[in-house]
A and B are shown apart, each in its own frame.
Chain A
Amino acid sequence: MSTRRIAAIARRIAQQFRRDRRSLALLIVAPIAVLALLGFVIRDQKPIETRLGIVSLGGPVDASIQAALSAAAAQAGVPVVDVGTGLAAGRAAVQDGRADVVIVLPASLAGGSATIQLITLGESPADDGARLQVVAGLVEGAGSQGPRLTIEHQTIYGSPTADVLDTFAPALIGFFGFFFVFVLTGISFLRERTGGTLERLLATPVRRSEIVVGYSVGFGFFATVQVALILLFALGSLSVPAIGPLGGFEVGLGIANAGSPLLAFVVIFLTAIGAVNLAIFLSTFARTELQILEFIPVVIVPQALLGGVFWSVNSLPDPLQAVARVLPMTHAIDGLRAVLLRGAGLSDPTLQLDIAYLAGVAILFVVLAGATIRREIA
């Protein structure tokens, strides 16, 4: 071991870092920035609001319990909203977003105990779980003097037994639709810029728009295949029977999906086109493939933290909510959840907004990407 050679190698690495200030900055700034963002999101997360609706089916428990519940809710600071009368009205209130939880009081007392239905939206098991905990506390308090109360959970969408995966899957599908295409296009176009092929390409009568659209079609195709397979795996469920010594097993996650897979696909495709062109645009600002990877903490991580993969956008602190609503990932995930969990169709206004936003972002990035492809590079 020669200490001189070891020192020379270490010194050379330091020199390289000095020339590549961006990598150095990222090494230090990125983890701190991401941690700060994470801290902001978690510490300042808003408590989930629970707007309670109470629907009575007109049974004997009704009068006493309804009064007790309202009193308990008022004491706990849970707002009670008027949702009308009857089960249908209660469900409609949850579906329209006027109430987060509706308590349905039964028509009859069976054997000295009553079953109370709690209706939630079922779009986010995490949010529903937190709300149910609040409401269950109220019910327990209110029911301490009367008959024994049993709670039954029902959801508008999905099923009450839905697990985290059911809401996670649409988010992850949207995330992957963006992430891989972004990285692959970025590296591919960087190589085009640095390898001399772009120069050669621009020495032909090709139009910039032809390059951008060609890239979008080429990478869009592979994004399509990727997403189609992910959707198939996530939504499908195929039982493979036992063959010989091999036991039978299930292929696919079999996630409940309410809406049209084709519409889900449209959402992801628009997301991917945006990602392709954002990557072409940003490849101008990278000199090496490493620097493309360094865009991940800048472009991908904030979208993963704020876009609704882990926490719903509504629970973010206000300033971050404003940021989140600008990010394409937020709209991709929102759109995918709308389609897959709620079964939203093209007439759904939130889905319309998401699709329009993603299309707008895709167009914006196409224009930006085109602007960076110039015959005059030097």
Chain B
Amino acid sequence: MDTIQPAGQATEPAGQATEPAGPAIQPAGPAIETHDLHKAFGAINAVDGIDLSFPAGRIYGLLGPNGSGKTTLIRLMAGLAVATSGTVTVLGTRMPSRPLLARIGYMTQSDGLYSELSVWENLSFFAAMSGQCDATALAEILDVVELGDRRGTPILELSGGMRRRLSLACALVHRPAVVFLDEPTVGVDPVLRYQLWDHFRRLATAGTTLVVSSHVMDEGDRCDELVLIRSGRVLATGNGAEIRQQAGTRDLESAFLKLSGVPTWGDAQ
């Protein structure tokens, strides 16, 4: 395992004691599986033949530049888009499946919050939509994202980072078994970013499957497995060390560029 554990545990996230409840019994097969997945928008193949198999309880990183097909792939896996061809299976169920959405958490790239409403009102709305009625679950997740003292604050008055955190809380409030996070750490400061990844790790340890997309390559080492995507195709899979080794580079960014066939300055090193 190549997961980096930063030194200095001074900033332990609040709510450490409240371990997320383990997801319901996992099916024997992988949590997420795609088979020859294609999605075309007109002449553009946003997802162009992707085969993946994600066993449960791990963190998967989708890495790739803007427009590489990460969001489309996530939307296909979350059942928000219909594949042109190929299949997606989540927790043993063919997607799209409306009932299964109760066990899926999805954090969109945009914050997707109602700006006139308060933190608590937003959270309880999305909780109600996902069937989560337990107020303690809401309070717990708010503590995890450190917004416990901001319950009554309208979204308009929150900073960008706070909105991102609330958006994450809304995706996790119903304790889903599979979580899709589309660029969750954009605009989040380094301290909180560390805390969020720490929380993701704890969710995975408890059995949750997480799929995190990012175009920030240095987040790749926090994932158990990476999928490098470009132009809707998989360039490479494996953990950070494996991918660096495969490319013969020191860091993931150079590895990505090299695997994409872009001549880089890092090659000379």
Q: Which residues does A use to contact B, with CB under 8 Å?
A: 195-197, 199-207, 375-378
* Contact between chains at A205 and B112 (CB < 8 Å): no
* Contact between chains at B101 and A205 (CB < 8 Å): yes
* Contact between chains at B102 and A205 (CB < 8 Å): yes
* Contact between chains at A376 and B81 (CB < 8 Å): yes
Mostly, the A contact residues are loop
A200-B126, A202-B80 as given contacts; A375 in contact with B96, CB under 8 Å: yes
The stretch of B5-13, B56-64, B103-111, B250-258 that contacts the partner chain: B103-111
* Contact between chains at B108 and A196 (CB < 8 Å): yes
In the complex, 14 of the A-B residue pairs with CB atoms within 8 angstroms, ordered by the A residue number, are: A195-B112, A196-B110, A196-B112, A199-B112, A200-B108, A200-B126, A201-B126, A203-B101, A205-B129, A205-B130, A375-B79, A375-B82, A376-B96, A378-B41
A197-B113, A199-B80 as given contacts; A204 in contact with B130, CB under 8 Å: yes
A196-B108, A378-B41 as given contacts; A203 in contact with B80, CB under 8 Å: yes
* Contact between chains at B81 and A195 (CB < 8 Å): no
Residues on the B chain within 8 Å of A201, using CB:
126, 129
Give the complex CA separation of A203 and B112 in angstroms. 11
* Contact between chains at A205 and B99 (CB < 8 Å): yes
Q: Which of B74-115 contact A (CB under 8 A)?
A: 75, 78-82, 96, 98-102, 104, 106, 108-115
The 8 Å CB contact of A376, one of B82, B113, B131, is B82
Q: Is residue B138 contacting chain A, with contact meaning CB distance below 8 A?
A: no
Q: Is residue B195 contacting chain A, with contact meaning CB distance below 8 A?
A: no
* Contact between chains at A200 and B106 (CB < 8 Å): yes
Which residue of A has the minimal Cβ distance to B130?
A: A204
* Contact between chains at B126 and A196 (CB < 8 Å): no
The 8 Å CB contact of B75, one of A197, A205, A378, is A378
Residues on the A chain within 8 Å of B130, using CB:
204-205
Q: Which of B3-36 contact A (CB under 8 A)?
A: none
* Contact between chains at B101 and A204 (CB < 8 Å): yes
Number of A-B contacts (CB under 8 A): 60
Contact pattern, B 170-185, Cβ under 8 Å of A = 1, otherwise 0: 1000000000000000
Q: Is residue B72 contacting chain A, with contact meaning CB distance below 8 A?
A: yes
Greatest chain B CB density within 10 A among A197, A200, A376 is at A200
Give the complex CA separation of A203 and B90 in angstroms. 14
* Contact between chains at B112 and A200 (CB < 8 Å): yes
Which residue of A has the minimal Cβ distance to B96?
A: A375
Give the complex CA separation of A208 and B109 in angstroms. 22
The 8 Å CB contact of A206, one of B41, B108, B114, B129, is B129
* Contact between chains at B99 and A203 (CB < 8 Å): no
* Contact between chains at B102 and A204 (CB < 8 Å): yes
Q: Which residues does B use to contact A, with CB under 8 Å?
A: 41, 72, 75, 78-82, 96, 98-102, 104, 106, 108-115, 126, 129-131, 170
Residues on the A chain within 8 Å of B112, using CB:
195-197, 199-200
Closest Cβ–Cβ distance, residue A272 to chain B (whole Å)? 22
Give the complex CA separation of A47 and B202 in angstroms. 81
Closest Cβ–Cβ distance, residue B28 to chain A (whole Å)? 24
Which residue of B has the minimal Cβ distance to A202?
A: B80
Closest Cβ–Cβ distance, residue A212 to chain B (whole Å)? 15
Give the complex CA separation of A197 and B126 in angstroms. 10
Give the complex CA separation of A207 and B98 in angstroms. 8
Which residue of A has the minimal Cβ distance to B71?
A: A378
Residues on the A chain within 8 Å of B129, using CB:
201, 204-206
* Contact between chains at B126 and A375 (CB < 8 Å): no
Residues on the B chain within 8 Å of A203, using CB:
78-80, 101, 104, 106, 108
* Contact between chains at A200 and B170 (CB < 8 Å): yes
Closest Cβ–Cβ distance, residue B116 to chain A (whole Å)? 10
The 8 Å CB contact of A199, one of B98, B104, B108, is B108
Which residue of B has the minimal Cβ distance to A194?
A: B110
A195-B110, A205-B101, A375-B98 known, 7 other contacts, Cβ within 8 Å: A196-B108, A196-B111, A197-B114, A201-B129, A375-B81, A375-B96, A376-B80
Which residue of B has the minimal Cβ distance to A378?
A: B81
Greatest chain B CB density within 10 A among A196, A199, A205, A207 is at A205
Closest Cβ–Cβ distance, residue B162 to chain A (whole Å)? 16
Closest Cβ–Cβ distance, residue A202 to chain B (whole Å)? 6
Which residue of A has the minimal Cβ distance to B99?
A: A205
Give the complex CA separation of A207 and B41 in angstroms. 26
Which residue of B has the minimal Cβ distance to A210?
A: B129
Residues on the A chain within 8 Å of B72, using CB:
378
Closest Cβ–Cβ distance, residue B151 to chain A (whole Å)? 19
Closest Cβ–Cβ distance, residue A108 to chain B (whole Å)? 73
Closest Cβ–Cβ distance, residue A134 to chain B (whole Å)? 58
Give the complex CA separation of A205 and B101 in angstroms. 5
* Contact between chains at A204 and B126 (CB < 8 Å): yes
* Contact between chains at B80 and A205 (CB < 8 Å): no
Give the complex CA separation of A356 and B22 in angstroms. 53
The 8 Å CB contact of A375, one of B41, B80, B100, B104, is B80
Which residue of A has the minimal Cβ distance to B114?
A: A197
Give the complex CA separation of A295 and B108 in angstroms. 30
Give the complex CA separation of A378 and B75 in angstroms. 10
A199-B108, A200-B106, A200-B126 as given contacts; A205 in contact with B98, CB under 8 Å: yes
Closest Cβ–Cβ distance, residue B124 to chain A (whole Å)? 13
Residues on the A chain within 8 Å of B111, using CB:
196
Residues on the A chain within 8 Å of B108, using CB:
196, 199-200, 203
Closest Cβ–Cβ distance, residue A213 to chain B (whole Å)? 14
Residues on the B chain within 8 Å of A202, using CB:
80
Closest Cβ–Cβ distance, residue B132 to chain A (whole Å)? 10
